[in-house]
Amino acid sequence: MKTSRIKYFYGESILAKVNTFSKLRSFLAKKLSNLTFLKRCRDNNMIPKFLQLKDHLENHKSKNILHKTNLILINEHIHFTKLQIVQIFHKTFKLHLFLFTTLRHDIWQTLDITYEQAMKTHNPLKDRNKNT
C-alpha cells in the first residue's frame, strides 16, 4: 500500500495512525510468538538462556533452588507477556475501528489483505518450529 495515497486523501494524521496500526499488528505477532516460545519452554521444562540465573555454589541443593526459581521466572514472564498482548490488542482494536470507519473501503481492504498475507507467511514458520 502506497502511503502517498493515504496521505493525499486523508492527511498526515491519518497516515500516522495507519503506520501505528501496522506497527502494533507486527508487534502483536512478535509477542504472540514470544508467548508460544515461553510456553513451550515451560512445558518442556527448559530454561531460556535470557532467564537463566547463575549458580555460584554449584551444588545439588543450589541447582534445585535455581531450577525452581527459573521456572517461576518463566511463568512470570508468560504472565507479563500475556498482559502486554492484551494491551497491544486493545490499542490495535481501537485503531482498527477508527480506521475502518475513516478510510475508504478499497484502502481498508488493501491494509487488511496486507495483514492477512503477513499472517500467512508467519504461520508456516510456526509450523516448522513445532516440528524441530
The reported pLDDT for the residue numbered 132 is 45
Q: Is the pLDDT of residue 118 over 70?
A: no
Q: Are 17 and 130 in contact, with CB atoms under 8 Å apart?
A: no
Distance in angstroms (rounded) separating the CA atoms of residues 90 and 85: 9
The reported pLDDT for the residue numbered 116 is 58
- Give the pLDDT mean for 4-26: 87
The reported pLDDT for the residue numbered 111 is 73
Distance in angstroms (rounded) separating the CA atoms of residues 6 and 3: 5
| 115: number of Cβ within 10 Å | 16
The domain of 59 spans: 3-131
- Give the pLDDT mean for 14-23: 90
- Give the pLDDT mean for 85-109: 89
Number of domains in the chain: 1
Look at phi and psi of residue 58 and say left if phi exceeds 0, alpha if psi is from -120 to 50, else beta. left
Nearest CA among 7, 34, 32, 26 for reference residue 92? 26
Task: Tell the residue number behind the cell numbers 498482548, with chain if given.
Answer: 85
Q: Is the pLDDT of residue 3 over 80?
A: no
Is the model more confident about 43 or about 4?
Answer: 43
pLDDT in tens, 35-46: 999 999 999 999
